[in-house]
Structure 1
């Protein structure tokens, strides 16, 4: 069974997800992981799928979506790698404050220096208010919380960290 990462980015319009999902289903590909969002009128999707076709066949099937040059589609083979087992506990970090250069860089570096791993990150700018919501795996939550508060103070933003709720399926 082949596994692929498919990305689709470009100008948003209704039906992109349906178009991509239908093409992949017709090819016999199962969607195993995905993330999709709209960013200021632009659509962004990354998904992992598995099935029998070769990458070139998938690219050819998705090519009509790029005909108007409003979407860019890429298909890459995914090699089997060891499964990442998160160490520690899962937390949600929220940052908000006046928009300024370096907020994401500082947050990401602080998490990394405390041995944490950001597993999901969303940012939004609303007027002059900048908001970050990040999911983080960390072994020393108290150390990270303290480091984030110090970094937030330097940046002039507010930060909070709380244990994440278990996913309910």
Structure 2
């Protein structure tokens, strides 16, 4: 029996209806099992990152090639190792930041998390007119949330933005 590959695929380009259907159909025809993905639009540009198991990287590249032939989409494929089950190393929190757009917001608040040993598991930013919004799911080492919250408040004050850090529930599937 042929070994199944674990692949990371990114698809980026000008947004249009049907991209998700086109890509997922091409993968399904190959027998690729889409396991994890995240997709969004960024200022009119489609972005999708996904992990799937199944065919080789070369087979997936060949199947996605026609979708990128007109130059409006870029698809990249790379083999990755299987997911390693890691022990839960932190407590889940939701951090949100909002305020007037200014250079360095993401760098400053994520540095606070990194210095505390926090791990960002999901991050979204959006600029809406003059308002900048950042929402991140983070895992913090046990017992550090209060100190991290205080440090985030200090950094937010210097940036003239508002920040909140609150505990969240873990995903239950």
**Would the TM-score normalized by the shorter structure come out above 0.5?**
yes
- The partner residue of 2:52 within 49, 52, 56 is 49
- The partner residue of 1:12 within 8, 11, 15 is 15
Q: Alpha-carbon deviation of 1:82? A: 3.2
Q: TM-score, normalised by structure 2?
A: 0.93
Moved over 2 A (4+): 80-86, 165-169
Q: Report Cα offsets for 1:53-100 as digits up to 9, x if no partner.
A: 221111001001111101000000012363333312100000000000
- The partner residue of 2:149 within 145, 150, 153 is 145
Q: TM-score, normalised by structure 1?
A: 0.95
Taking the aligned partners of 1:82 and 1:168, their CA distance within structure 2 comes to 19
For 1:105, the equivalent position in structure 2 comes to 107
**What is the count of residue pairs matched by the alignment?**
168
SS in structure 2 opposite 1:154?
helix
Taking the aligned partners of 2:38 and 2:120, their CA distance within structure 1 comes to 15
For 2:119, the equivalent position in structure 1 comes to 117
Judge which range, 138-147 or 101-110, deviates more. Answer: 138-147
Q: Alpha-carbon deviation of 1:17? A: 0.4
Distance of aligned partners of 1:166 and 1:80 in 2 relative to their CA distance in 1, 3 Å threshold: closer
User: 1:1-169 maps to which residues of 2 (within 5 A)?
Assistant: 1-51=4-54, 53-80=55-82, 82-139=84-141, 140-169=144-173
- Which residues of structure 1 form unaligned runs of 5+? none
